[in-house]
Chain A
Amino acid sequence: MAMNSGAELPGSGTGPGSGGADVPAEDERLACGRMLSEVWEAWEDGADDPARDPHLRACPHCSAAVRQLDLLGAAVREAGGGREPEWDAGALTERVMDVVRLELRPGRPLPLGEREEDLWVREAMAAKALRAAAETVPGVRAGSCRIRPAESGGSPSRGPVRVRLEVVVPLTPRLRDLAEEVRRRVRGAADDALGLPVDHVDVHITDVTDPAGADPGGVGAEEGNQP
């Protein structure tokens, strides 16, 4: 398929180490050591600016991974044959890309329901639902969301999971209360939308924004971190 031309990843990072029959599509590590999922996220967040992270531009592995994502996007956009759509194609494009992205990077399987059941949800889908729940808090933007088994042991674990969510929040004197509200909604969505047993939700405030919207860049957020 033409999709592949010029966009092959130079040496897939998943080697013989990923042995398990049913843990195929966990985080894929590129040969340079970066996670493919993180590279894609950084690209979509605009973090490919060389001033912020020169590695993304310079590294052949990272740039090939980004090119692959770009090709997918271009193919989806051009699927309409260049016709001028009579309706907003952007939303549809976004949804198609969403499906494609989750198909390619489904993440690890996480347990749904009771311990003795054999029901699972893929990490990428669960993360999408939890990020959306966090963003129902006004002004909150969700970033990276990692979901891992809370207990180590057999793979894949059937126990409850631990969620680590990064958020950008509006500047407020009550950052802790805001983080608590985010945590509450994430827990609620895990229960009400998914049925995913959650042991712990870590909310990390990575940045704060000016509520007046005067400075979209935000200010330093070190003190916003919540363990």
Chain B
Amino acid sequence: MTTAATERDALAGTVARAAADVPGVAFLRPGLADLFRPSARTGPPRAAAGRAPAGVRVSRASATGPWEVDVQIVVHRDRHALTVARTVRDAVTTALSATAPGAQVTVTVTNAV
């Protein structure tokens, strides 16, 4: 595994922990679709070890560009989706302030349970 991939997976882990700890977040998007429709996904299967958590995607356009972080969450039914999403964005931004300052954080609410 390359250094870049290791760094990316470490960031994804940080993001996942920060997001999952936010009140109102039930869990990160489970990624069931990948289980049901493996053939629909293109590209080689990812290495089992160090696999990024489902619901978190971390990328950057260039080696020095800002990180782009995409978080997909499932919220508790009785919580205000926008408020939870904003809190997740702020928590992730704070958690990344040391290792990935200036990261662009996108939060998507995919379901409520």
User: C-beta contact mask, A125-148 vs B, less than 8 Å → 1, else 0?
Assistant: 100110000000000000000000
- Contacts A1-B35, A1-B36, A122-B111 given; indicate if A194 touches B30 (C-beta within 8 A): no
Identify which of A59-67, A103-111, A160-168 touches chain B: A103-111
- Contacts A100-B32, A104-B32, A104-B36 given; indicate if A119 touches B85 (C-beta within 8 A): yes
In the complex, how many angstroms separate the beta carbon of A101 from the nearest chain B beta carbon? 10
Most interface-central of B33, B82, B104, B106 (chain A CB within 10 A): B82
Residue A119 contacts which of B29, B74, B107, B111 (CB distance < 8 angstroms)?
B107
B108 in the interface (beta carbon within 8 A): yes
- Contacts A119-B89, A125-B109, A129-B112 given; indicate if A99 touches B32 (C-beta within 8 A): yes
A-B Cβ contacts below 8 A, count: 92
Are A106 and B110 within 8 A (Cβ)?
Answer: yes
B32's nearest neighbour on chain A, judged by CB, is: A103
- Contacts A99-B32, A119-B89, A121-B108 given; indicate if A112 touches B113 (C-beta within 8 A): no
- Contacts A1-B36, A1-B38 given; indicate if A112 touches B110 (C-beta within 8 A): no
Most interface-central of A3, A103, A194 (chain B CB within 10 A): A103
In the complex, how many angstroms separate the beta carbon of B34 from the nearest chain A beta carbon? 9
- B33: chain A residues at CB < 8 Å are 103-104
A12 in the interface (beta carbon within 8 A): yes
State the CA gap A22–B106 with chains docked (Å). Answer: 11
Interface size grouping (class) on chain B: 20 to 34
In the complex, how many angstroms separate the beta carbon of A36 from the nearest chain B beta carbon? 12
B108's nearest neighbour on chain A, judged by CB, is: A120
B51 in the interface (beta carbon within 8 A): no
With A103-B29, A120-B106, A121-B81 known, 20 other A-B pairs at CB within 8 A are A1-B35, A1-B36, A1-B38, A8-B39, A99-B74, A103-B31, A103-B33, A104-B32, A112-B85, A113-B82, A118-B104, A119-B86, A119-B107, A120-B85, A125-B110, A128-B112, A193-B81, A194-B80, A195-B82, A195-B83
Residues on B facing A (Cβ under 8 Å): 29-33, 35-40, 70, 74, 80-83, 85-86, 89, 104-113
